Structure formats: structure tokens, C-alpha cells
DNA sequence: CTCGCCTATCGTAAATCAACGATAAAGGAA
DNA sequence: TTCCTTTATCGTTGATTTACGATAGGCGAG
């Protein structure tokens, strides 16, 4: 992946080339998901425990339940985590595929 | 680094434990630096060319000069890039150390 | 069915971001 | 010195984020 070596143009000759770079947008979106301390902690927590009910995550953070729920929604939309309804509770876990995608993006830099 | 395996507490027993996690904040700050498509493109550009004058970066992006300068400032503050004055121009380059720090953070997840 | 628990969503307010044009500062060329 | 180029900063506007409390919806227990 990333055949960047063949795109070594002067860059000043084609300014429009970088106008729409879907890769950069995907990357930025994924990076943005972990661009907040609370979300970093949530991701770490889920990686360390494999699965965690929403209420426990709320207890781990000094934030209101609604705020945590909002962060969880952001992480879910990025694909980094998944939520599974378990009765009245919701069990969250990491989505390894997206986590690998993030790692591949960063390591590809 | 990361002795997370010893911190496998129930988490609900110590809610204040995660209140101030400097690591998470550092991580989030670094991730936030690349949480915008334009900044991703700038970083990639600098990695692929080793050094680049500000004006060239401006020509590569569909953004105003002042906007690009603002993104460069953000990247500089994150430590990911460095700017060296070269006469009337400014030459930007990647800071490998911070880039490695970012990779270590992500790979440590 | 009714109650209580858990979670998501709504509405709101303050703060921050992103983008631009205009302008200032610094350095080289003539 | 004066002009031109290059870059950073200022000031502003609109959009987005973040945080909270209040509220609604879903589900199991009794």
C-alpha cells in the first residue's frame, strides 16, 4: 500500500493534485477519533479489558454520563469500537480491524 | 513502557485514577495534530521530500497562505515538524523523534 | 402492568477551530 | 535606500466541539 514513491513530482506544477485526497481524510477522521484525552482513555480501557459495559466506563472517567455517551458515539462512528446491546446495558469492545487500519496509517508515514 | 497489565483493577473502585492521565493528554495532542486532512497532507509531503519551503506547501494545497501558515504553526507546536529560517524563506522538515513518539503511542495501543 | 435501572438523545452555553483577507515584519536585490 | 518577495500574525466570521442537565426509550424484575 501507499505507492507514494512514484508521486515525487515537484508539486508546484500540479497544485490541484492534493485537493481531494480521500486517504488523508480517512486518516484524519481516524486520528480525530483519538484526538481527545477521554477518548484515548476509553480506547485503552477497552483494549485492556476486551469488553466493558457503558456504566463502568462512566465510572472510570470524571465526566457526566451524557458526555461519555457522546464520546462513545464518536468512537463508534469512527469504527474504532463497537457496541452490543446486552439487555438493558450496552457492552462495548474494540474493533480490531479499524485499530489495525489506524496503526497501518501511522506506520505508513 | 506501559505497565498496563498491572492496572487491571475493576476500575469502578477508583474513579479518580483516570482523572489526570498525562500520557493520554500527550497522545491526544499528538493525534490532534494530524486530525485534519490538510495537516496529514503536509506531514506526508515533508516525509516524502525531507525538506520543503513554506511557499511550496502553499502551492500544494487549495488553501490560502494564511491558513496553511496556521496549520504549520499547529504542527510545529506539536513538535511533529520544525521550521528553519533560510533567508527570507522558511524551510520545514519532519522531526523524526516526535514522529517516532506518535508511532510508539499508536503501536502501544 | 408498573417500577427502577441503564443508555441515548435533546437542548443549550461556552470554548475552540478553520478559513479568509489584510497587514506587518524580515531579508535580499537593484 | 527603495522595492519586491516570503512568511507570520491580526481580526473576523461561521462552523464545530465539548460539556452539562434534563428527558425519553428500552428492558428486566417484581
pLDDT (tens digit, 9 = 90+) per residue, A18-68? 445 789 999 999 999 999 999 999 999 999 887 789 999 999 999 999 999
A105/B106 Cα distance (integer angstroms) = 10
Residue B64 CB in 7 A reach of strand C: yes
Please count the other Cβ atoms lying within 10 Å of the Cβ belonging to residue B40: 22
Interface residue A41 vs chain B (CB under 8 A): yes
Q: Cell digits for A5?
A: 514513491
Interface residue A92 vs chain B (CB under 8 A): no
Contact A80, A40 (CB under 8 A): no
**Per-residue DSSP letters for chain A?**
---GGG----SSS-GGGGS--HHHHHHHHHHHHT-SHHHHHHHHHHHHHS-EEHHHHHHHSSS-HHHHHHHHHHHHHHTSEEEEEETTEEEEEE-HHHHHHHHHHHHT-
Of A12, A32, A36, the CB nearest to B59: A12
Closest residue, chain A, to B22 (C-alpha)? A37
Q: Cell digits for B64?
A: 490560502
Q: For chain B, what is the mean pLDDT? A: 84
Residue B29: which H helix or E strand, with range? helix B22-33
Low-confidence ranges of chain B (pLDDT < 70): 1-20
| pLDDT tens digits along A56-79 | 999 999 999 999 999 999 999 999
Cross-chain Cβ contact B60/A102 below 8 Å: no
3-class SS of residue B14: coil
Q: Cell digits for A100?
A: 489495525
- The pTM score is 0.83
Pairing relationship of beta strands A52-53 and A89-94 according to DSSP bridges: antiparallel
Q: In the prediction, which pLDDT does A26 show?
A: 94
Residue with cell 522538515: B93
Per-residue pLDDT for A9 more than 90? no
Who among residues 29-88 of A has its Cβ near strand D, under 7 Å?
A: 35-36, 38, 62-67, 70-71, 74, 85, 87-88
Pairing relationship of beta strands A81-86 and A52-53 according to DSSP bridges: unpaired
CA-based nearest distance B75→chain A, Å: 14
Sign of the Cα torsion B97, B98, B101, B107 reads negative
Amino acid at each position: 500500500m501507499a505507492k507514494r514513491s512514484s508521486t515525487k513530482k515537484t508539486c508546484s506544477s500540479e497544485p490541484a493534485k492534493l485537493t481531494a485526497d480521500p486517504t488523508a481524510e480517512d486518516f484524519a477522521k481516524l486520528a480525530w477519533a483519538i484526538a481527545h484525552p477521554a477518548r484515548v482513555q476509553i480506547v485503552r480501557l477497552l483494549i485492556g479489558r476486551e469488553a466493558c459495559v457503558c456504566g463502568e466506563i462512566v465510572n472510570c472517567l470524571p465526566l457526566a454520563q451524557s458526555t461519555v455517551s457522546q464520546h462513545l458515539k464518536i468512537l463508534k462512528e469512527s469504527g474504532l469500537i463497537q457496541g452490543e446491546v446486552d439487555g438493558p446495558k450496552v457492552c462495548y469492545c474494540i474493533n480490531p480491524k479499524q485499530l489495525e487500519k489506524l496503526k497501518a496509517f501511522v506506520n505508513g508515514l
